[in-house]
Amino acid sequence: MKALRFYAPEDVRLEDVPEPECGPDEVKLKVKACSTCGTDVKIFYNGHQNITPPATMGHEIAGEVVEVGANVSGWTPGDRAQVIAAVPCGECYECKKGWMAVCQNQTSVGYQYDGGFADYIIIPRQVLRVDGLNRIPDNVGYDEASAAEPFACAINAQELLGIEEGDTVVVFGAGPIGCMHIRIARGVHRCGPVYLVDVNADRLKMSADAVQPEETIDGSQVDVVDRVMELTGGRGADVIITATAANITQEQAIAMAARNGRISFFGGLPKTNPTITCDSNVVHYRQLHIHGANGSAPEHNKRALEYISTGQVPVKDLITEHIPLDRVLDAFSIVKAGEAIKVTVVP
Ligand SMILES: [Zn+2]
Ligand SMILES: [Zn+2]
């Protein structure tokens, strides 16, 4: 079968590998859709400390069950399934507290376990043990289901933000995850006006056409903090989500937050430059709440599938490109150039 194997930074090969065999504690899927995101591009160029080459990439996976190990119950060939990417251990202090997104022994599909840019994938025992293989509702397509993983990360982040009806929300980053954040804030939390910020006018327009924020703000043209202050009558934004790796957006988020404002530092910063300047007195006197966000728990993946199924948070229109596995490296270029909202690879 074909698989996209990571050997070293910028040495990623689509090659023929033996079809994997299903062990007694495992499930084998025929991959039907594996979506791409910025993380794939990051791995392509920089590798990752948790990847021991060669390894098959791809972590946003949906497929059809084709084989079930003798010791596994609950699955039958023909079942449609979505796979978690972040795999908690289920046993550490954090997991026992129910904080599976911050498991200290977290492993990942597409890192320690071979991923979904391939014709077939083995779902390891570690995934099944934490209930990380999810049934796809009948009315949800494989491509949509593959987007449940990034969607789950956004659900995890927003759970911490206590978004209330009518809250003003600012989202930095007009990528797929920024779009999903807007849809969740509206569809699940019934927020008020949403302002979408980016420094790339084309991407801003493409995403705004899909999710229709009340206003887009091009950070390369205007002072983002001033504009949000104007739009909110000087009060500031109630909720700010930085779905980008740009340090300045975190500083701008603090500067534009309303009293009792809640901020999610959703996107991580570059490892080589992870610090920002924070006026601590602004945080203190305005009583700001600043949250981190680290991936998702299995339960968030289930909820994502449910929101897609009920129509509360649609994702179908965010998947703007379907690309065959043979052209998976083109998919990476499209993601890198920001020319599509979400690109799904279909083996
Ligand atoms: Zn991803
Ligand atoms: Zn754990």
Instruction: Please state the domain extents for the chain.
Output: 2-152+295-346, 161-291
CA–centroid distance, residue 61 to ligand 1 (Å): 10
CA–centroid distance, residue 40 to ligand 1 (Å): 7
CA–centroid distance, residue 98 to ligand 2 (Å): 9
CA–centroid distance, residue 86 to ligand 2 (Å): 11
CA–centroid distance, residue 88 to ligand 2 (Å): 5
Calculated CA dihedral for residues 305, 311, 312, 317, nearest 10 degrees:
90
CA–centroid distance, residue 178 to ligand 1 (Å): 13
Cα–Cα distance for residue pair 168/189, rounded to 1 Å:
12
CA–centroid distance, residue 332 to ligand 1 (Å): 12
CATH domain 2-152+295-346 topology = Quinone Oxidoreductase; Chain A, domain 1 (3.90.180)
Is the bond leading into 176 cis (omega within 30 degrees of zero)? no
Tokens linked to 332: 């990476």
pLDDT of residue 67: 98
Complete DSSP assignment for 250-312:
HHHHHHHEEEEEEEE--SPPPTTS------HHHHHHTT-EEE------HHHHHHHHHHHHHTS
Tokens linked to 222: 């205007």
pLDDT of residue 220: 98
CA–centroid distance, residue 263 to ligand 2 (Å): 26
Give the 3-state secondary structure of residue 5.
strand
The ligand minimizing its distance to the Cα of 107 is 2
Nearest partner of 101 among 60, 185, 163, 158, judged by Cα:
158
CA–centroid distance, residue 151 to ligand 1 (Å): 9
Cα–Cα distance for residue pair 12/9, rounded to 1 Å:
7
- Residues with Cβ within 8 Å of residue 285, at least 6 apart in sequence: none
Place of tokens 């300045």: 248
CA–centroid distance, residue 135 to ligand 1 (Å): 20
CA–centroid distance, residue 299 to ligand 1 (Å): 17
CA–centroid distance, residue 63 to ligand 2 (Å): 26
pLDDT of residue 167: 98
CA–centroid distance, residue 38 to ligand 1 (Å): 7
CA–centroid distance, residue 107 to ligand 2 (Å): 10
CA–centroid distance, residue 39 to ligand 1 (Å): 6
pLDDT of residue 338: 87
pTM for this structure? Answer: 0.96
**Going residue by residue through the chain (347 aa), what tens digit of pLDDT does each one get?**
999 999 999 999 999 999 999 999 999 999 999 999 999 999 999 999 899 999 999 999 999 999 999 999 999 999 999 999 999 999 999 999 999 999 999 999 999 999 999 999 999 999 999 999 999 999 999 999 999 999 999 999 999 999 999 999 999 999 999 999 999 999 999 999 999 999 999 999 999 999 999 999 999 999 999 999 999 999 999 999 999 999 999 999 999 999 999 999 999 999 899 999 999 999 999 999 999 999 999 999 999 999 999 999 999 999 999 999 999 999 999 999 888 899 999 99
CA–centroid distance, residue 227 to ligand 1 (Å): 31
The helix (run of H) or strand (run of E) holding residue 118 is none
Nearest partner of 227 among 219, 171, 43, judged by Cα:
219
The ligand minimizing its distance to the Cα of 149 is 1
CA–centroid distance, residue 262 to ligand 1 (Å): 24
The ligand minimizing its distance to the Cα of 92 is 2
The ligand minimizing its distance to the Cα of 344 is 1
- For residues 217 and 196, the answer to whether their CB atoms sit within 8 Å is yes
pLDDT of residue 8: 96
CATH domain 161-291 topology = Rossmann fold (3.40.50)
CA–centroid distance, residue 205 to ligand 1 (Å): 22
